[in-house]
Amino acid sequence: MSSIIQLLPDHVANQIAAGEVVQRPASVVKELMENAVDAKATNIKLIVKDAGKSLIQVIDNGVGMSITDSRLCFERHATSKIRHAEDLFSLHTKGFRGEALASIAAIAHVEMKTKQDQEELGTHIIIEGSKFVSQEPSVLPKGTSFSVKNLFFNIPARRNFLKSDTVEQRYIVDEFQRVAMAHPNIHFTMYHNGSEMFNLPVSNFRQRIVNIFSGKTNEKLVPAKEETEIVNLHGFIGKPEFSKKNRGEQFFFVNNRFIKSGYLHHAVMAAYEGLLSTGAQPSYFLYLDVPPHTIDINIHPTKTEIKFDDEHALYAILRSSIKHSLGQFNVAPILDFDRDPNLDTPYQYQNKEAEYPTIQVDRQYNPFSEEKPSKAFTSSSSSSSNYKKPEAQPSWESLYVGLKQAGQEIAEMTFENDAVTSSLFEENEIEQEVKRTYQIQKKYIVSPIKSGMVIINQKRAHERVLYEGFLTSMTVHQASSQQMLFPLQLNYSSAEIELLAELKSSLENTGFIFESINEDSVVISGLPVNVTESEIAIVLEELLSDLHDGIPDSSFSQNDTIAKSMAKSLAVKTGTYLTEKEQENLVHNLFACREPNVSPFQKPTFITMSVEDLDKKFSL
């Protein structure tokens, strides 16, 4: 019997490894930029076309590679950072496993140009699908340039799984921002389809954060710092009033490497306990420096998850330091037991004695006497009294004196007393005004029907009404708007501004009027009829959060997503009291919808209970 097990060819093994390392174009950006940082570059340029599907190019001015290294770097497990197994637990660099370039070369057309400072000529290498096409000397500037073209050209199935250009571009921007924030001492620039997206000069950590997220980020930040034997913590946290619904501005960096940690995130949320509304997420940009031997960063293919030796101590330090920062900068409420200075005695009255008021008494006053009291008081100071006995008012009989004497008789009016002998309707047929709807626990609306009653979930019902209204407005392009007296300016990050620019036409069909869209802000001058000025920021924030994973390609799906998001934001919340008129309007509008049975999220809006069902309940 022939053997079944066999060794994989190198190009197949490289493609399998690429499945772990290169999941999308953003993975290539991450690996190439980290290599440029390890090469001690001070200027790194990222050029992207078609969201990385056509071209990803990273140019740096680092140390470059020799002829031998430039050829060897594309071999599997070729690395300059590891010599022994123990080196895995004392890493100070980014890439170290030696799989990135080999994996990228297996699934794309790669062109590399590199030159060391002391060499006269550099090396120009072209690889297509793990096959070396050419290698020749060339006149090049110092540093390295990697060009990755036609990603997944030989694996069409992987290419088909990529999302739209907008989504893939957002992933690339995320990776670019993570590397740029970890290294403010490096000048980063990014170009997409020929236009400059970021130009980040050398700066400190705070200025780098402000340059990336623009807007009014600077006034949102509160510094946090703590130095212990376990960890040195520094960075910035956001003020609670600037919290958002999404988690887009939350960053942990451990030894200048971006990581994701639900455990550390929980520590931050514990520090904000009592300061955030339900579902709100604070912003934080925290840098943790720990001894390399206390962490293991090789537990995840993308190295975004690491393992700490003493997680509990790190949790406590992180939570307490953030609480301290919030209290130190008067962000968190504190109990102040200091005395109120307003209760102190004024300076000019400190040495003065209190003056007692004088008492004035009329000792000759007799309430039962009809005579006027004398003006002489027994008190020596009685002359200053202004007491005066009120004059007697005339009695009510005096008002009628003289009426009959003047010959005026009081006319007596008689009314015809007709007894109602019959009624148009029988007494049991008289329709009395009764309340048609009832609200239970400020959550459900009960409305009686012939066969029993209908119990309506007020939040889901309102979502359905708003959803169909917005969808109709966007489809017919006849939305009504209310003009604002003063235009409202809202600040967003560059990625959010780009997303709003794409949604502008659809939002205008719902009733929004955008006066201008700038680099870091939007100016709104008109609103949909059922949106108040205080709800604008909430509606747009939740919309951006819902579309964070990408805008649907088709216009109908895009309108559907926007309508669902706005309906969810504007729907009446559970716990809101509704008047009887509001209850009736909601019930009538719900059953006027095309699909009143379910909410936009396919959940039931109401249930019915017949009299027979009630009878069964009482027959138990």
pLDDT digits (tens, 9 = 90+) for 311-320: 888 889 999 9
What per-residue confidence (pLDDT) applies to 331?
65
337 lies in some domain: no
Which stretches of 53-186 are assigned E, i.e. beta strand? 55-60, 109-115, 122-128, 131-138, 143-149
What per-residue confidence (pLDDT) applies to 185?
92
Cα dist from 616 to 151, 450, 451, whole Å: 66, 18, 14
What per-residue confidence (pLDDT) applies to 428?
46
Sorting pLDDT into bands at 50, 70 and 90, what band is 18? low
**In the predicted structure, residue 547 carries a pLDDT above the cut 70:** yes
Least confident residue range of 382-386, 464-468, 600-604: 382-386
For residue 466, give its domain range: 440-608
605, 596 Cβ separation under 8 angstroms: yes
| Residue ending a domain, choose from 185, 200, 215 | 200
426 lies in some domain: no
CATH number for the domain that contains residue 592: 3.30.1370.100
Q: What is the 3-state secondary structure (H, E, C) of 264-286?
A: HHHHHHHHCCCCCCCCCECCEEE
Same-domain check for residues 73 and 195: yes
Same-domain check for residues 169 and 218: no
Q: What region, left, alpha or beta, does residue 402 occupy, with left being phi > 0 and alpha being psi -120 to 50 degrees? A: left
Tally of domains in the chain: 3
Same-domain check for residues 193 and 270: no
| Residue ending a domain, choose from 300, 328, 356 | 328
**In the predicted structure, residue 384 carries a pLDDT above the cut 50:** no
Sequence length of the chain is 620
Give the relative orientation of helices 458-476 and 555-570 as an angle to the nearest 10 degrees. Answer: 140
Q: How far apart are CA 84 and CA 342, in angstroms?
A: 71
422 lies in some domain: no
Same-domain check for residues 454 and 502: yes
**In the predicted structure, residue 381 carries a pLDDT above the cut 50:** no
Q: What is the mean pLDDT of the chain?
A: 79
Dihedral angle of Cα 347, 348, 353, 359, to the nearest 10 degrees: -120
465 lies in some domain: yes
What per-residue confidence (pLDDT) applies to 350?
66
| pTM of the predicted model as reported, rounded to 2 decimal places | 0.69
**Using CB atoms within 10 A of its CB, is residue 456 exposed (0-12), middle (13-18) or buried (19+)?**
buried
Least confident residue range of 55-59, 102-106, 351-355, 579-583: 351-355
**In the predicted structure, residue 495 carries a pLDDT above the cut 80:** no
pLDDT digits (tens, 9 = 90+) for 26-37: 989 998 998 898
Same-domain check for residues 211 and 182: no
Dihedral angle of Cα 291, 293, 299, 303, to the nearest 10 degrees: 40
More confident residue, 194 or 414: 194
Same-domain check for residues 183 and 247: no
**In the predicted structure, residue 431 carries a pLDDT above the cut 50:** no
352 lies in some domain: no
**In the predicted structure, residue 229 carries a pLDDT above the cut 70:** yes
More confident residue, 407 or 190: 190
Rounded to an integer, the average pLDDT of 595-605 is 90
Same-domain check for residues 283 and 191: no
Output Rg (C-alpha) for the chain, integer angstroms.
Answer: 39
| Residue ending a domain, choose from 303, 328, 353 | 328
333 lies in some domain: no
164 lies in some domain: yes
371 lies in some domain: no
More confident residue, 610 or 355: 610
